[in-house]
Amino acid sequence: MTRGMFVTVLGRMAGVDAEEYANQSAFEDVSADAYYAPDVLAQAIRDSVDKYGACIINVSLGTKKDEPALREAVAYVQEQGALVIAAAGNEGENSDLYYPAAYDGVLTVGSHDKHLIVSDFTQQNGTADILAPGEDIWLASRKGKTYGARGTSYAAAYVSASAARLWQSDMSLTAQKVTDAILGSAQTVEGWLILDSDALFNSKT
């Protein structure tokens, strides 16, 4: 399959949403009290590549169960060359793992505040590879009103956008090279890697 630069976003924000597949329970949105079935998300992840040719799959969802269908779907799209970027979770010092964020090869994102300090709600489970802005995020409602939000879901979107911009500049890049460039150009603050878009786009990949 010939693939151009296409990003799917699974979660509350935009793109291919799990709600398009079914309205089922048991899957937790890490940024809200919304639930989806893991097998529904697994199918959405597969479809992101098979139907839409996505290079990047942003997953702003998480489940605490290592579901075989979800694990296999992530492995499948990785084999197809896609980069999966996932939110780390929003339970702070809770060390529970979230999936797909905890799977090997997934670029997992936590949140930092305006001072580049890790957000207190970022999941402290050792899976976050990098932090990005996840506090004081201003959104527009369908009625045109603005409101503030926070969460690792929004942080993940920053990393996905940076990955998309980098990959678009050179479609010969691989998911691993994009990941390496993002992590390699990051700042280090108090032991955490912080997304540095300026350094990323000025670096050689």
32 pLDDT band, cuts 50/70/90, is very low
Report the distance separating Cα 108 and Cα 102, nearest Å: 8
More confident of the two residues 110 and 3: 110
**Average pLDDT of the segment spanning 48-60:** 92
Distance CA 111, CA 200 (A): 18
Treating both helix axes as pointing N-terminal to C-terminal, what angle do 175-184 and 152-169 enclose, rounded to 10 degrees? 110
**Confidence label for 7 from pLDDT (cuts 50, 70 and 90):** low
**Is it the case that residue 159 has pLDDT exceeding 90?**
yes
Residue 8, pLDDT score:
66
Q: Residue 194 pairs with which residues in a beta bridge? A: 131, 187
Short-list 57, 75, 50, 64, CA closest to 11 = 57
Going along the chain from its start, the domains and CATH numbers come out as 7-202 (3.40.50.200)
Mean pLDDT of 142-151: 87
Q: Are 58 and 6 in contact (CB under 8 A)?
A: no
34 has a pLDDT exceeding 60: no
Which position has the higher pLDDT, 94 or 122? 122
* Residue ranges with strand state E in the chain: 7-10, 56-59, 83-87, 107-112, 130-133, 137-140, 146-149, 187-189, 192-194
Give whole-number Cα distances, 159 to 43, 136, 194, in Å.
Answer: 23, 17, 10
